[in-house]
Structure 1
Amino acid sequence: MRISERLSSMCVKSLIQSMDTQIMCMLAKQVIPGYDIHRQTGIPEGLAVSNRHVARQIVSDMIAGDHFPEFVALLIEMQDTGLMGRKYPVFFIDDVVRGMYELGFLYDRENRMFIDNPAFRYTRNWGALRNGIEYIVSFLRIDIVGNSELVRRHSAEIAQKTYENLRSIVYTASNKRNGRIWSWEGDGGLVAFFFSNKHLLAALSAMEIIHELYIYNLTQNILDKPLQVRIAVHSGPFDYTENEEELTRSDTVKRVMEIESNHTKPDTITISPVVKVMLDEFVVRKFKPTEAKAHSEFFYYRLGWENI
C-alpha cells in the first residue's frame, strides 16, 4: 500500500502531540506483538528515544508492514471508546482519516476497521482482512446442475458464454451487497460476505440470483434447456487466506460446499440454521424446512409463482 508523505507526516504529528512514547509503543505492540522500539531504531536499551524519533519509527514500521490502516483504526478507537479503560484525545485524527479517504478507504465503525470505498477500490479482502486472522464470514456457494451434460451437448464457445453470463449475474447480485467472489471455476464458485448483516446480505444475494436466472432463461439463455443451479448459504469462522487451496480446507467452506452438493435441489437455495436465525422475519418466512427428515436442520427457498 502506498502511503503519501503528507499522510505519514500527519500521523507522526498526531502521535507527537497526543501521547508520550510509552503510549505510542503500547499501541504499536497491539498491532505488532512483541514490537521493540529499541530494536527497530538500533538505539541501545537504557538510552532514551525521543518522542519524535519514536513516532516516526512506528509510523514507518506500520507502513512497511502494511499495518497502517489497522494502526489508524486503533487511534480512532483510542479516542472514541478508549483503551485500557481510558479515552485519549488524538489530535489531527480527522486529518489522518481524511487522508485515508483520499486513498480509497472508509472507516467502518461497527467493525472498527478501514475498508475499501467501493467508489474507488475493489479488493478481495475489502482492504481489511489479514492473512491468518480468524473472522466470521458468510459464504454463498453456487454450482451449475448437470454441467457435464452442458459441456457434452454444446460447443465450447456456448458453454464459456453461459459461464460468463452466470458469473455476471452472481457478481451483480453480490457486489451491490459488498460481497466478494473468492473462487470461480467456470460452472460455479464461492462468494464471501463480511460486513453489516452478512448473513442477510448473502441470503438476499442468493435470492436475487435465482430471480435473475429465471429471467435469463426466458430472455437470454443460449442453451437448449434452462440453466439450473444449486445455491447454499452458510456462515462460520474462517482463517483468512488468499490461497485457494487453503480456502477449500476451511471447515466452514467445506460445510457450505457439502450443503450445496448433498442437501440442495436444482433451482433451490438452502441455508443453514446459523444463517436462518440471523435473518429478519420477512425473509425468514420465504424459507421452508427441507422435506426430508434427515435434512430437517436446513431451510430452502425455491422460486414459485407467488415469488415472481
Structure 2
Amino acid sequence: MLDPSLNNLLIETIAANFKSKEMDEIGRMLNKKFNLYDVAEKTSVVTIGARSAATVLVDHMVSINKLHDFIKLLAELDNNQIQGRTLQMEGYDYFLQQFTHSGYFYDFTKRKVLPLKTESKEMPNWGALKDGKSYPITIISVDIVSNSELVNKYGAKVMKKVYTSLWGFLKHSLEHTDGRIWTWAGDGGILAFAFKDQIERAVKFAVEVQRTITLFNMNKNYPISEPIELRLGINSGKLVYHNDTGQIISEVINLAAHLEKHKTIPGGISITEKVFTSINPKLQSIFKGIGNFEGVPCFQSDRLDLVVCQD
C-alpha cells in the first residue's frame, strides 16, 4: 500500500507513459483475467481516459496484493517493447526515488522490490538510477585550494583529518538538498544531484557551502592553523549512470572539473550556461560576464566572487 501522494505519483507516471490499451495488456501480464473495462465497470464502446485507466490499474494491483510485482514489471518494461513500440518510461526514475521513502526500493541487480536496509540518502543512485542508462544529472566538482602546499606544511596525516572532517561537513549539507558524493579522493571529489529542481538545489548547496566554510574552519577540533578554501565547478547534462560511480566518464563531469580547476577563484563557484539559465532570477543576479572559458562566455559575481560559465 502506498501513501496517497506516492499512489497519485504512480498513477500520473503511468498515465503519461501508456495508452489505455497498453495498460490493459500490462494488467494481463500479472493477472491473465484482467480486463480494464470489466474492472472499471465500463462497456467497450466507452473511452476510458489515460488517468482513469491508470487509476483502475493501480487500484487493481493493490487489491490483488501485486503492487510490488507491478512496480518491478514497470521497471523492466523500460526500454522494452509493448504493442510494437519501444517504451521510454519518462518520470519512472523519480517515482522509484520517491518510493524509497516508503521503506522499500527496486533493486535493478536482483530484480526485486526489497526493504531498505540503509537510509536512501546513502544510496548513490537514490534507489532509482539503472546501471547503463542515461539520465540528466547536475555535477559539482569540489577541491581544496593549494592542497599540495598544505600537505607539505602540515603533513599528510594531519591533512587526512581535515579531509575526513570536510567530507562530513559536505555530507551534512547534502542531506537537505538530496545530493550525493559520487567520488572522493581526499582533497576533493565529485558530487551529484538528480530529479526535480536538481540544478537549483545544486547551486544553493554550493552557495551554502562557500558561505559556511568559515564556520567549518572555526571548529574547535579543526587541526591546522590556517583556513582552507574551496573551489566549486557546476555543470549539468545527460550522462550514463554506472553503479561504480567512480568509473563514470562523461563530458558533463569533465567540464565541471575543468571549470573548477582552471577558472574558479578561491572561495568561488563556476557554472555553465545551462545551470545559469535554470536557476531563479535572484541567484542569477549575482553573476556578471568575465569573458570566455574553453571557447564559451563566462560570468562572475560582483558580490560573492562567484564564477559562471556559459555552455
1:84-136 deviation line (CA, Å, top 9, x unaligned):
xx757213445669879xxxxxxx97865211329843311011100111111
1:51 matched to 2:21: no
State the AA in 1 paired with 2:240: D
1:244-269 deviation line (CA, Å, top 9, x unaligned):
4531x211111111111111111101
- Pick one of 109, 114, 117 that aligns with 2:101: 117
Partner of 2:5: none
Distance in 2 separating the partners of 1:231 and 1:143: 7
State the AA in 1 paired with 2:32: N
Aligned length: 230
Q: After superposition, where does 1:36-115 map in structure 2 within 5 Å?
A: 51=32, 81=50, 89-90=56-57, 91-94=59-62, 113-115=95-97
User: 1:178–1:193: 8 Å Cα contact kept in structure 2?
Assistant: yes
User: 2:23–2:54: 8 Å Cα contact kept in structure 1?
Assistant: no
Partner of 1:183: 183
1:230 matched to 2:231: yes
Distance 1:303 1:153, change over 3 A: farther
1:11-30 deviation line (CA, Å, top 9, x unaligned):
xxxxxxx99997138979xx
Cα root mean square deviation, aligned: 3.7
Distance 1:149 1:188, change over 3 A: same
Shift of 1:195: 1.8
User: 1:267–1:302: 8 Å Cα contact kept in structure 2?
Assistant: no
Distance in 1 separating the partners of 2:284 and 2:256: 19
User: 2:94–2:128: 8 Å Cα contact kept in structure 1?
Assistant: no
Distance 1:283 1:97, change over 3 A: farther
1:145-172 deviation line (CA, Å, top 9, x unaligned):
1111111111333211110121122112
1:148 matched to 2:140: no
Distance 1:170 1:298, change over 3 A: farther
State the AA in 2 paired with 1:294: N
User: 2:182–2:246: 8 Å Cα contact kept in structure 1?
Assistant: no
Structure 1 unaligned regions, length at least 5:
1-17, 29-49, 55-78, 101-107
- Percent of matched pairs sharing the same residue: 22
User: 1:20–1:51: 8 Å Cα contact kept in structure 2?
Assistant: no
Distance 1:111 1:243, change over 3 A: closer
Partner of 1:136: 136
TM-score normalised by length of structure 1: 0.64
Structure 2 unaligned regions, length at least 5:
1-19, 35-47, 70-89, 104-118, 306-311
TM-score normalised by length of structure 2: 0.63
Partner of 2:194: 194
Shift of 1:242: 2.1
Distance in 2 separating the partners of 1:24 and 1:304: 54
Distance 1:304 1:22, change over 3 A: closer
